Structure 1
Amino acid sequence: MTGKEIREKFLKFFEERGHRILPSASLIPANDPSLLWTAAGMVPFKPFFTGTAIPEFRRVTTCQKCLRTPDIESVGRTARHHTFFEMLGNFSFGDYFKEKAIPWAWEFVTEVLRLPPDKLWVTIYLDDDEAFDIWHREVGVPAERIVRMGKDTNFWEIGVGPCGPCSEIHVDLGEERGCGSPDCRVGCDCDRFLEIWNLVFIQFYRDEEGNYSPLASKGIDTGMGLERVASVLQGVPSNFDTDLFREIMDFTSSIAGVRYGADKKTDMALKVIADHCRAVTFAVADGALPSNEGRGYVIRRLLRRAVRFGRLLGLHEPFFYRVSDAVIRQMGDVYPELVTYREHVLKVIRSEEERFGETLAQGTEILNALISEARAAGSTVISGEDAFRLYDTYGFPLELTKEMAAEEGLTVDEEGFKRALEEQRERARSARVEMEYLSERDAFYKSLRDELGESIFVGYESLEARARVRAVLKEGRRVGAAAAGEEVEFVLDVTPCYAEAGGQVADHAVVRARHDLEVEVRDVFRPVEGLIVHRGQVRSGILRENDEVRVEVDARRRRDTARNHSATHLLHKALKEVLGPHVNQAGSLVAPDRLRFDFTHYTALSPEELRRVEDLVNEKILENLPVETYLTTIDEARKMGAIALFGEKYGERVRVVKMGNFSLELCGGTHVRSTAEIGLFKLVGEGSVGAGLRRVEAVTGAGALGYLRAREEQLDQVASLLKASPDEVVARVEALVRENRELEKECETLRARIARFEVQSLLEQVKDLNGAKFLAAKTSAPDMDSLRAMVDLLRERLGSAVIVLASPVGGRVNLVAAVTKDLLPRGLHAGKLIKEVAAVVGGGGGGRPDMAQAGGKDPSRLQEALERAYAVAASQLKG
């Protein structure tokens, strides 16, 4: 079977057994800051297993795209390690349990995949007799083929929360794939017994003390690796030999002019490129962008590792984006987002690949400097720390560092490199945030919701409501009542208050009751699905549970926020129209006073593009488009072309916001009734927030009016200073700029003349330093550039010398040191020299052996510092 056939058969099998087929979730987990990536099929359903969200379907099946990165260095070296892979799974949220999950798994493996039962082995948790009985008595697996395993392999748990035993299905690939040991059996580290499917039985809850209690609502979470199953069914020795990889590897082979299977090093390079390209392509299509931290760093690291292996194949020009196109051609029919965002993906990858080419050049320059330093110091070894810094910071492979060092007769401290690498891994391990299945805070709010029932939000229809206080909370516990002056949280059965979500800030409100109660609401949030919590201060009276109250939302704040939210939808569409369909929302803030919108784009917007975006939004405002909101199914919304945002979680029923025939988005926020209510839209800022990520800020309505008035006042102030009318300001400023440029040129000419005179007088201060010319002097250079220029003039005049110049500027000291190249073999080093000199004036700095600069904070010790320069240079020569 092809990979595609396996995928389709799995989903159809479980659909026929009452499961809803859901599309793969994004690789970027929705609303879960504890995770960088979706690393397992259950991740999108984590809230359903914890109980913080309520599932729409009790039975679900998916083919989930996954990304894991702990074993990047193993990819290409082994048959099974991947960064990107597809996980087939079936899930039950409080519906069926082991009695159905186990027989279905066996039926699919033996009857649909037609794997021979005598080649299959089953593992269960040590004391899971229930699973044993189902496997043996109902399914018919011989008892000797059911292996009981320990907690380290067959019990699934991550901290506090739901957990349970596992049962795995293994395939015996034959003695020839084994290690040859007489003890070789299921669980051996060799390749003979391959685990293809893991069934997790979520039946316990683990508390903070490590106690396990049975869950009232049990769950099933299974995972079958598509690549592994394909390797078994296609009878190939590794996942990379399946049709899921070969097409990509064959494409890379063709452009590199190499053949897969001819050489181990070539094969490894082809495997790494194929695996990493799948990961990078899918991640970028899901909204990730290369950067120096978080997800972006993972993308950058994978791309750079793949490009380095490409160079081993002779691919020195950008090629990775072409391999990405091959990935899209192969997998785009299954994952349509690859086709939708193809241009965006290829552009991001090519740009990053070209940037890495520049980084490699920079790394080469640094390595050459390290080689020079080692030679100057009489060493034949590049330190492990320096080699690791090149690897970690510049993506410079150890093999390349060793090769270039060997050409110069040097070696690399590989043990030191390994120590530095392990130290970094240890730091990463200790800093890694483990996925908490259910935090103590979430557990508290979940139990509260289960007890009180779900909150009813009526804020779309009304800004006022009568409600009953269901709970009064303080510091994570129910207190029953709160008096005047106390900060408090409380839950109402009905509320018109919008809880912060989707970038829109929460409403402010006032809660009142007859007995002089008044509570100022400053925040509203949803800690778990279905529960709305209000936070604020009791101004007067006592807030008690079961009180009948009246809630009044701050209407002006809500209207201003709604204007900005509706303008955000118009802005999103306008950016797509002006810049292209690759533009996608990557974050937003919708507040009453402004809006902020982050989106995918590669370059800064030109003034003309900004004008076109602003004009288009205002055009749609003036058209007075009706703003309609309605509920429909997610499938129907997609058919209509509604935009769904990266990282958002949507149920089967979704809320659509439609603005005429211009904008159509899924959104749970509050909006105006027609675009004309927005009033005026004005862009007030544009900038970068990361590689391939831009941000614009804007104001609407009263905020736009205030912004324009402030600009008008500024113009009037400038006109007053120029003693001109506002209409004459531009002409007057242009004249001033021209005059200023002429004066600056005149100043530069005068400075150059003064510098030449000063250089002449400085030459008279040159001393002898063990046969070398030495000059340390104070100058009048006004800035660091002028000081460096003076050093260059002196080097030209002296030919061979050590020069240290200093100039006091505005309460600080600028310092520059230079050593001509003929003196470097004698042990002189400008960087080390300037570091010690700067210390005298309370500063620091450094640089290359031939040129360095520094700064200091104490001009009063300048003469002492210059005298120190002679002593340091003398000691370097002596050494």
Structure 2
Amino acid sequence: FNGEVAFKLNDTYGFPLDLTEDMLREKNIKLDLDAFHAKLDAQKAQSKAGWKGTGEAAATGDFKALKEAFGVNEFVGYTETSNNTKVLALLDENFKQVEALNGKGWVYLAETPFYAESGGQTGDTGILDFNGTKPTIKVLDTKKFMEMNLSEVEGNIQVGDEIEALVHNTRIEIERHHSATHLLHAGLRELLGEHIAQAGSLNDDKRLRFDFSHPQAMTAEELAQVEAWVNDKISSNSTGVTRIMTVDDAKEAGAMALFGEKYGNEVRVVNFGEASIELCGGTHVNNTSEIGLFMITKESGVSAGVRRIEAVCSKAALAEVQTLRETLTEVKTELKNQNPMAGINKLKEEVKTLKTELKTALSSTKKELTASEINGATVIVDEVEAGDIKELIDEAKNKYPNIAIMLFQKKGEKVLIACGSKETKVKAGNWIKEIAPVLGGGGGGRPDFAQAGGKDASKIAEAKEKALAYLAKNL
């Protein structure tokens, strides 16, 4: 089975790869996984093309030589957020090996606590400390190349330096959002159905974004139910348990696979009580209670059959609450009412009253339109200062059995034009197309009603004369 088609099903429509494989297995059809992963790698390379050191530079970098020389470095960040380690190699901004950096580049550490961007979790930042021998340098990001964790740095560093690597405390917030994403995934499947499958995700220290397969927009009630479900699981104080299992054992245990991930013979399975169990290589909280408040901020469509939820938790959720509180206070101040809904209802009533008063005032000053007759048809061509000219035309059409009417109304330097025809030979749309250009405008409409706009109010008198001449010729 064509792997590129399987990729499109996964990427565009959110159809999970493992389900495609299961369906093909039942028919004894083999899936071209190499083609699938080739498309996936190409997509990832394209998304990285915005870095300095473009996708092309990443593809031609010295990664193969690095891996042959040192193998895959050890990630110790599941249990440690700092460790003493050694700089094995350095790459410049074009991913070429160098002996020293004095600016931006990439560092390859023997053991690293920095998590490399993967599975939707953003890469770690932090610092490298030289124990006082020279200034600390910043770790700006961490990414994975050919299974190796490399951290982007900026500063003065040399191959062989002994350093202490310290992960920035934003990792805590990233983990909270990542664990909240697992609970959100489980909640959506529980409340909307098992057709829900992950189609992409992003977890950083300030928000989470989760794409999933679903045929329609979620209702406000469904969003509230999902939000409440996740907060309930957070407050259940479930311990996060991570186990290393074979892929088959993990699937047997009910673990859900994540979008776009390649899995070896053994996988990490992250479990939060009975609420959630997923295959995941990311880092997570030790207990759901660490996530804190969870808030959905937006639900939208991504593509056909794929929806997106954006949400916040922990410190970001508290900041969101504070923003909402400040907005509510501002609304109360503007409404001069401590009960915003009561204030809004009062304003609506005032607007309704003002509209009624305005309509009455306009009616009392309404101009009496002067009608004449051409070949047995009533005609009105006039200028009005106030009122709704469409409404005036409707009233005239109701008053007379047959009529051709055109009204002009100044709006600053511009002019509104509308006309109507009832039981006459004149077609309103054609009539207005002849007259509007006199005023520097244009318009059109149906045979019974048409409207237009003009730019030159000084030529209304000329337009009225031409409108009457048109009627004399066509009635």
TM-score w.r.t. length of structure 2 = 0.74
Aligned partners of 1:723 and 1:829: how far apart in 2? Answer: 53
Q: Cα deviation per residue 1:18-53 (whole Å; 9 max; x = unaligned)? A: xxxxx9797334998xxx699xxxxx9xxxxxxxxx
Q: What 5-or-longer segments of structure 1 have no aligned partner?
A: 1-6, 8-22, 39-43, 45-61, 66-84, 94-157, 162-437
Read off the aligned partner of 1:28 and give its amino acid letter.
F
Partner of 2:245: 632
Read off the aligned partner of 2:173 and give its amino acid letter.
D
- Matched residue of 2:256: which SS? coil
Tell me, yes or no, if structure 1 residue 481 matches structure 2 residue 84. no
Read off the aligned partner of 1:753 and give its amino acid letter.
T
> Is contact 2:61–2:94 with CA below 8 Å preserved after alignment?
no
User: Which structure carries more strand by proportion?
Assistant: 2
Pair 712,753 (structure 1): closer, same or farther in 2 beyond 3 Å: closer
Read off the aligned partner of 1:548 and give its amino acid letter.
E
> Is contact 1:470–1:491 with CA below 8 Å preserved after alignment?
yes
Partner of 1:544: 158
Pair 766,658 (structure 1): closer, same or farther in 2 beyond 3 Å: farther
User: Which structure carries more helix by proportion?
Assistant: 1
Please report how far the alpha carbon of residue 835 of structure 1 lies from its aligned counterpart in structure 2 after TM superposition.
8.2
Relative contact order (alpha carbons < 8 A, sep ≥ 6): 1 or 2 greater?
A: 2
Pair 560,835 (structure 1): closer, same or farther in 2 beyond 3 Å: farther
Partner of 2:91: 472
Q: Cα deviation per residue 1:77-97 (whole Å; 9 max; x = unaligned)? A: xxxxxxxx997577999xxxx
> Is contact 1:63–1:86 with CA below 8 Å preserved after alignment?
no
Pair 464,629 (structure 1): closer, same or farther in 2 beyond 3 Å: same
Read off the aligned partner of 1:801 and give its amino acid letter.
A
1:444 to 61, 66, 72: 61
> Is contact 1:25–1:64 with CA below 8 Å preserved after alignment?
no
1:699 to 312, 317, 335: 312
Partner of 2:406: 803
Read off the aligned partner of 1:587 and give its amino acid letter.
G
Tell me, yes or no, if structure 1 residue 590 matches structure 2 residue 207. no
2:194 to 574, 581, 595: 581
> Is contact 2:393–2:420 with CA below 8 Å preserved after alignment?
no
Partner of 1:28: 7
- Matched residue of 1:619: which SS? helix
More divergent stretch after superposition (817-826 vs 495-504): 817-826
Read off the aligned partner of 1:472 and give its amino acid letter.
L
- Matched residue of 1:645: which SS? coil
Aligned partners of 1:622 and 1:870: how far apart in 2? Answer: 79
Partner of 2:127: 510
Pair 563,30 (structure 1): closer, same or farther in 2 beyond 3 Å: farther
Partner of 2:370: 764
> Is contact 1:834–1:854 with CA below 8 Å preserved after alignment?
no
Q: Cα deviation per residue 1:580-603 (whole Å; 9 max; x = unaligned)? A: 333333333322122233334455
After the TM superposition, which residues 116-265 of structure 1 pair with which residues of structure 2 at under 5 Å, given as runs? none
Q: Cα deviation per residue 1:291-335 (whole Å; 9 max; x = unaligned)? A: xxxxxxxxxxxxxxxxxxxxxxxxxxxxxxxxxxxxxxxxxxxxx
After the TM superposition, which residues 492-571 of structure 1 pair with which residues of structure 2 at under 5 Å, given as runs? 492-513=109-130, 515-526=133-144, 528-538=145-155, 542-555=156-169, 557-571=170-184
Aligned partners of 2:309 and 2:389: how far apart in 1? Answer: 40
2:77 to 430, 453, 459: 459
Partner of 1:750: 357
After the TM superposition, which residues 406-445 of structure 1 pair with which residues of structure 2 at under 5 Å, given as runs? 441-444=58-61
Aligned partners of 2:163 and 2:472: how far apart in 1? Answer: 86
Please report how far the alpha carbon of residue 462 of structure 1 lies from its aligned counterpart in structure 2 after TM superposition.
1.5
2:421 to 812, 816, 820: 820
Pair 711,451 (structure 1): closer, same or farther in 2 beyond 3 Å: same
Aligned partners of 2:29 and 2:211: how far apart in 1? Answer: 31
Please report how far the alpha carbon of residue 444 of structure 1 lies from its aligned counterpart in structure 2 after TM superposition.
3.0
Q: How many aligned positions are there?
A: 445
> Is contact 1:642–1:664 with CA below 8 Å preserved after alignment?
yes
After the TM superposition, which residues 772-787 of structure 1 pair with which residues of structure 2 at under 5 Å, given as runs? 773=379, 775=381, 777=383, 779-780=385-386
Q: Cα deviation per residue 1:712-752 (whole Å; 9 max; x = unaligned)? A: 4444555566666xxxx33xx44434433433333333343
Partner of 1:616: 229
Tell me, yes or no, if structure 1 residue 668 matches structure 2 residue 281. yes
> Is contact 2:127–2:167 with CA below 8 Å preserved after alignment?
yes
Partner of 1:740: 347
Read off the aligned partner of 2:164 and give its amino acid letter.
R
Partner of 2:45: none
Taking only the aligned residue pairs, the percentage that are identical comes to 32
Pair 472,456 (structure 1): closer, same or farther in 2 beyond 3 Å: same
Read off the aligned partner of 1:503 and give its amino acid letter.
G
Please report how far the alpha carbon of residue 564 of structure 1 lies from its aligned counterpart in structure 2 after TM superposition.
1.2
> Is contact 1:657–1:665 with CA below 8 Å preserved after alignment?
yes
> Is contact 1:755–1:790 with CA below 8 Å preserved after alignment?
no
> Is contact 1:659–1:675 with CA below 8 Å preserved after alignment?
yes
More divergent stretch after superposition (491-500 vs 787-796): 787-796
TM-score w.r.t. length of structure 1 = 0.43
> Is contact 2:73–2:149 with CA below 8 Å preserved after alignment?
yes
Tell me, yes or no, if structure 1 residue 682 matches structure 2 residue 289. no
Please report how far the alpha carbon of residue 496 of structure 1 lies from its aligned counterpart in structure 2 after TM superposition.
1.7
- Matched residue of 1:27: which SS? helix
Read off the aligned partner of 1:529 and give its amino acid letter.
M
Pair 469,478 (structure 1): closer, same or farther in 2 beyond 3 Å: same
More divergent stretch after superposition (820-829 vs 789-798): 820-829
Please report how far the alpha carbon of residue 658 of structure 1 lies from its aligned counterpart in structure 2 after TM superposition.
0.6
Aligned partners of 1:658 and 1:683: how far apart in 2? Answer: 22
Read off the aligned partner of 2:349 and give its amino acid letter.
E
Aligned partners of 2:218 and 2:29: how far apart in 1? Answer: 40
> Is contact 1:596–1:698 with CA below 8 Å preserved after alignment?
yes
Please report how far the alpha carbon of residue 510 of structure 1 lies from its aligned counterpart in structure 2 after TM superposition.
1.2
- Matched residue of 1:671: which SS? coil
> Is contact 2:428–2:448 with CA below 8 Å preserved after alignment?
no
Pair 700,866 (structure 1): closer, same or farther in 2 beyond 3 Å: farther
Aligned partners of 1:707 and 1:694: how far apart in 2? Answer: 22
> Is contact 2:99–2:158 with CA below 8 Å preserved after alignment?
yes
> Is contact 2:429–2:445 with CA below 8 Å preserved after alignment?
no
Pair 832,518 (structure 1): closer, same or farther in 2 beyond 3 Å: farther
Aligned partners of 1:776 and 1:565: how far apart in 2? Answer: 69
Tell me, yes or no, if structure 1 residue 659 matches structure 2 residue 278. no
Q: Cα deviation per residue 1:183-223 (whole Å; 9 max; x = unaligned)? A: xxxxxxxxxxxxxxxxxxxxxxxxxxxxxxxxxxxxxxxxx
- Matched residue of 1:28: which SS? helix
Aligned partners of 1:587 and 1:688: how far apart in 2? Answer: 13
Aligned partners of 1:837 and 1:533: how far apart in 2? Answer: 71
Aligned partners of 1:590 and 1:760: how far apart in 2? Answer: 65
> Is contact 1:499–1:506 with CA below 8 Å preserved after alignment?
yes
More divergent stretch after superposition (441-450 vs 514-523): 441-450
Please report how far the alpha carbon of residue 606 of structure 1 lies from its aligned counterpart in structure 2 after TM superposition.
4.6
Read off the aligned partner of 2:162 and give its amino acid letter.
E
Pair 742,866 (structure 1): closer, same or farther in 2 beyond 3 Å: farther
1:641 to 254, 264, 277: 254
- Matched residue of 1:532: which SS? strand
Please report how far the alpha carbon of residue 565 of structure 1 lies from its aligned counterpart in structure 2 after TM superposition.
1.0
Partner of 1:283: none
Please report how far the alpha carbon of residue 660 of structure 1 lies from its aligned counterpart in structure 2 after TM superposition.
0.8
> Is contact 2:408–2:460 with CA below 8 Å preserved after alignment?
no
- Matched residue of 2:238: which SS? coil
Aligned partners of 1:536 and 1:589: how far apart in 2? Answer: 23
Pair 638,800 (structure 1): closer, same or farther in 2 beyond 3 Å: farther
Read off the aligned partner of 1:547 and give its amino acid letter.
D
